[in-house]
Amino acid sequence: MSKITAAIAGVGGWVPEDVLTNHDLEKMVETNNEWIVTRTGISERRILKVEGAGTSYIAIKAIQDLLSKTKTNVLDIELIICCTTTPDFVFPATANLIAAELGCTNAWGYDLQAACSGFLYGLSTGSQFIETGKYKKVLVVGADKMSSIINYQDRATCIIFGDGGGVALLEPNHEGLGIQDFQLHSDGNGAPYLHMKAGGSRKPASHESIDAREHAVFQEGATVFKFAVTNMSDVTTKLMERNGLTSEDLSWFVPHQANRRIIEAVANRLNVPIEKVIINIQKYGNTTNGTLPLCLWEFEKQFKKGDKVVLSAFGGGFTWGALYMKWAY
């Protein structure tokens, strides 16, 4: 038998209809369009305003898009990995809510939290269930309702984040396509620079924590920028070298959409021409776990079977990694 690899057999995505532009933010906080575009590359982001809707709502919309395109039966789905930083609840898992809403009665699932690197962690984890032959259809979701944990009086963070998400269907491949290799890292010493201060077991919600706006993203931008550029560049370089890849060999580079300047700096260090770099941050901002699947979803028609694609991400805490795949369809 030929070696089984885990390949993406289809992608889906969804973003809310409501748009929050830089000009809208000018009315909410002390900032301006030129400043935001120059420093982040973001012009607008989407905000989920449906009453009572959480991250599962975004994920379900994205999965429905995928199921429709791939003609996949919900009863054939065996595992759902939901990569998110903004679960609907502390428990039950958002993956379980997704499965129930869609009628995936033959699937089990769990949530995976690795901040903005979550979707990479999820693809890497999901691929193991395929490669061992245990499962044939695994959904890896990357979605976040970041507006639920943003302080719209903090101009350092409210200009960056948006809501949205996507999903990839992993299936077995016998042609040598799909996920070839990955390298993942984490370092909790980075926690002070990008975190949420309250809401967990260490500091449960209280009047004091709410009044102090501690249930929102805190970021020390300059430090995060430096670590993101260095670590994304280093891990991607090592992964490419390990697989004998040069920038000329690469068909597409798909980086986490955190900041346009980070994306350009990493691409420059890798010597990858900007024409090969997938970028849509200008429209959606940083959707955390949603950025990579939204890139795959939006640019799906530009990918060709056999294309050599490298994904790279960096997240709070810190987490980072890179994944190399050969596009399978």
Catalytic residue chosen out of the listed positions 96, 173, 256, 295:
256
Instruction: Considering the domain delimited by 180-326, tell me its CATH architecture.
Output: 3-Layer(aba) Sandwich (3.40)
d(CA 157, CA 274): 26
- Give residue 68's pLDDT: 98
Collapsed DSSP state (helix, strand, coil) of residue 40: helix
Give the CATH fold of the 5-176 domain: Peroxisomal Thiolase; Chain A, domain 1 (3.40.47)
Assessment of whether the complete model's pTM goes beyond 0.85: yes
User: By C-alpha distance, which of 186, 277, 182 is closest to 239?
Assistant: 182
How wide is the angle at C-alpha 159 spanned by C-alphas 90 and 149, nearest 5°?
Answer: 15
Catalytic residue chosen out of the listed positions 83, 104, 116, 295:
116
Catalytic residue chosen out of the listed positions 96, 231, 259, 286:
286
Q: In the chain, pLDDT over 70 holds for what percent of residues?
A: 100
C-alpha 73, offset from chain centre:
25
User: Band of the pLDDT at 1, cuts 50, 70, 90?
Assistant: low
How wide is the angle at C-alpha 214 spanned by C-alphas 213 and 220, nearest 5°?
Answer: 105
What mean pLDDT is predicted for residues 114-133?
98
User: Band of the pLDDT at 25, cuts 50, 70, 90?
Assistant: very high
pLDDT at 316 over 70: yes
- Give residue 92's pLDDT: 97
Residues of 84-119 as b/e, b for ≥16 C-beta within 10 angstroms? bbbbbeeeebbbbbbbeebebeebebebbbbbbbbb
Q: Is 256 a catalytic residue?
A: yes
**β-bridge partners, 218:** 195
pLDDT tens readout for residues 230-279: 999 999 999 999 999 999 999 999 999 999 999 999 999 999 999 999 99
Q: Is 158 a catalytic residue?
A: no
Task: Give domain limits for the chain.
Answer: 5-176, 180-326
What mean pLDDT is predicted for residues 55-68?
98
5-176 and 180-326, same CATH topology = yes
- Give residue 2's pLDDT: 79
pLDDT at 4 over 70: yes
pLDDT tens readout for residues 155-208: 999 999 999 999 999 999 999 999 999 999 999 999 999 999 999 999 999 999
What mean pLDDT is predicted for residues 278-304?
98
